[in-house]
Amino acid sequence: MKLFSGKELPSYHRISSQTGANVRRLLYLFHTSTAREKRIFLLLLLVAIISGITFISRMYRRVTVPVPAVGGVYIEGSIRPPQTINPVYAAVNDTDRDLTKLIFSQLIRYDGAGYIIPDLLERYEASADQKTYTAFLRKNAQWHDGIIVNADDVIFTITTIQDSRFKSPLRPNWQGVLVEKIDDYTVKFVLPAPYTPFVENLAIGIIPKHLWEGVMPEQMLLHELNLKPIGSGPYRFDDLEQEKDGVIRSFVLKRNGDYYRTGPYIRKIKVLFFKDEETLLHAWKRGDIDGFGPAPESARGDLGGGISTIHTLHMPRIFGLFMNQKALTAFADPEVRKAIDIAIDRKRIVEVVTKGGATPTRMPFPLPSFRNRQLASASSSEVTFFAEPERAKSLLHDAGWMDNDGDGTFEKTSGKSKNATTTKLRFIITTSDWPDLGAAAEEIRKQLRNIGIDAAIESLPIAELESKVIRPRKYEMLLFGQVYGYEPDPFAFWHSSQVKDPGLNVALYTNTGADKILDAIRKTTDSDEQTRQYQSLIASIKNDTPAIFLFTQQYLYFLPAAMKGVNLSYIALPSDRFNLIDQWYLKTRRVFK
């Protein structure tokens, strides 16, 4: 051990002095070097710095991973402004459903492939007889005003829907269902009879009892909370901008920092509303909006520059021609119905149906092969879509339909001599004024003309079509769509009890055997047995040909290429694209592995 005498510098002073001396020597050498030597020195120094930075960056990326970060603004375009952002009523207007999905939580929700995941529920249990469902609520969900979500909110929402005075369009889904509170976080639903697809009813937004319980039925639709809603979902109302006439021009949402799940990550979502699709498309091309849907098929060609990504989402919607045999006696002839079926080129129709895309089909049900295996299995044999116009003409000839007067339209004569009557094979195809259905109807008209059928087209606004045509069943042939859910239930579309409004059996199909199958499908939980039942039902409908099935719908959704965390392939409703909005993100940060 040495004592410090004051004459000898400690070791760290000696090292510091030596380092300083070395630096001074380098600086001296640099100043005394030639210009060429200085350039070489600076180049080597720069290479060393870049190499060091690159090495550190690579090492950092090896030991870290990118994860979603809060930030960014997403601007979406829409055509129809909102009217009632309320789960009790948001079943007609797509924009209302979209915003409701963002603001309100549901008991359950579906992921991007159509599988059930809990939302406000931690779990649910079904009794062995499928008549009782017990729902267990999570305890960490709260309304945007800070109040905790509990069983009282769930019961209040359902009983409000069930109350005819509130005129909720969801009321038919809940008629006869008893709702019972077990405790603050447990609710029991008791059904009057087994109903396997009931679980999809739980995908319903819940409203806060403490804000709505004092509102009278006649006041509910006009309440301010319908445009400035308070929910418990991933996004909360921030602001809206209205025109002088009161029409909403834009709607702004901000992330719910108290959301009970991880996320959401997008800091703000803004929705801009446009008067028509053309104006919206111009806004997207200018960069005023980041995304929109449904997008027309023609917009695929405008994806240049990689600024957008298009997501093609399959939907359980099937479009077809539904024949009213009571309105047109020719449709009572099975050979006429079969001739129309084989005369139609479905692939050609799909080519002209551009809005959102489509997939040709000959099946009475959509093909949700993502999860409903019984439908996929029952439908897998259907792969042909080509038309057979000559065979169709032969069927008509064999049934007595001929073009005797040479005008190109087949006719059939009944009776003899003076009592004979001649009927032309002529009818009206009624559809909505949606451009793609109009284009499809025109293509169908041309194809039917080729086999001697004279069809005219009547296009009506959807509201008028539903009220004046579909509900009273005043049509000869109806070109329309059937909307199935995640839990397919063909009962409302094909059971004979549903031929009158509010039933949805627009084909006016009556078959006792099919009715028995439809009743059994609702009660059966065994998947193999369901497969057999669906196969029998499909065989019955195909044999009777009450309708001509054309195509299933797709939903084309444009999002910015920078948007990550989007996992979508199948949705039942357009608003379901937001089911997992809390997982979408625009910004990232890196964390150690």
Assign 210 a pLDDT band (cuts: 50, 70, 90).
very high
- At residue 246, the pLDDT reads 85
Assign 354 a pLDDT band (cuts: 50, 70, 90).
low
- At residue 245, the pLDDT reads 85
pLDDT in tens, 482-524: 888 887 788 889 999 999 987 889 999 999 999 999 998 888 8
Assign 358 a pLDDT band (cuts: 50, 70, 90).
confident
pLDDT beyond 90 at 65: no
> What average pLDDT does this structure show over 95-124?
95
pLDDT beyond 50 at 381: no
- At residue 9, the pLDDT reads 47
Mean residue pLDDT of the chain comes to 88
Assign 369 a pLDDT band (cuts: 50, 70, 90).
very low
Decide if 209 contacts 534 (C-beta within 8 A): no
pLDDT in tens, 2-49: 444 444 544 544 545 565 566 566 566 666 777 777 788 778 878 888
Decide if 557 contacts 112 (C-beta within 8 A): no
Decide if 317 contacts 434 (C-beta within 8 A): no
pLDDT beyond 80 at 375: no
Look at 258-267, 291-300, 548-557 and tell me which has the smallest mean pLDDT.
291-300
CA atoms of 230 and 21, how far apart (whole Å): 71
Q: Which residue has the higher pLDDT, 506 or 385?
A: 506
Percent of the chain past pLDDT 90, that is, above it, reads 59
- At residue 508, the pLDDT reads 96
> What average pLDDT does this structure show over 397-413?
92
Tokens 């957008």: give the residue.
308
> What average pLDDT does this structure show over 194-209?
92
> What average pLDDT does this structure show over 131-148?
97
Give the CA distances from residue 339 to residues 217, 258, 391, 396, in Å, rounded to whole numbers and listed in that order.
52, 61, 8, 7
pLDDT in tens, 553-592: 888 899 999 999 999 998 999 999 999 999 999 999 988 8
Q: 334-343 and 389-398 helices cross at what angle (nearest 10)?
A: 170
Q: What is the DSSP letter of 132?
A: E
pLDDT in tens, 315-332: 888 999 999 999 999 999
> What average pLDDT does this structure show over 231-249?
94
> What average pLDDT does this structure show over 290-313?
80
- At residue 232, the pLDDT reads 98
Look at 183-187, 368-372, 510-514 and tell me which has the smallest mean pLDDT.
368-372
CA atoms of 208 and 144, how far apart (whole Å): 10
- At residue 26, the pLDDT reads 59
Tokens 């008028």: give the residue.
464
pLDDT in tens, 249-282: 999 999 999 999 999 999 999 999 998 888 998 9
Strands 178-183 and 132-137: unpaired
Give the CA distances from residue 454 to residues 15, 305, 390, 426, in Å, rounded to whole numbers and listed in that order.
103, 47, 17, 5
Percent helix, strand, coil in the chain, to 5, is: 40, 25, 40
Strands 411-414 and 121-126: unpaired
Assign 303 a pLDDT band (cuts: 50, 70, 90).
low
Cβ burial of 118 (10 Å; 0-12, 13-18, 19+) is: middle
> What average pLDDT does this structure show over 125-153?
96
- At residue 368, the pLDDT reads 42
Q: What is the DSSP letter of 470?
A: I
- At residue 529, the pLDDT reads 84
> What average pLDDT does this structure show over 527-552?
90
Decide if 568 contacts 315 (C-beta within 8 A): no
> What average pLDDT does this structure show over 408-433?
88
Q: Which residue has the higher pLDDT, 82 or 379?
A: 82
- At residue 20, the pLDDT reads 59
- Strand ranges for 243-307 from DSSP E: 248-255, 268-273, 291-292
pLDDT beyond 60 at 164: yes
CA atoms of 345 and 322, how far apart (whole Å): 17
Instruction: Outline where 450-526 has alpha helix (H).
Output: 462-464, 491-494, 512-523
> What average pLDDT does this structure show over 197-206?
93
Assign 355 a pLDDT band (cuts: 50, 70, 90).
low
Find how far residue 343's CA is from the centre of its chain. 32
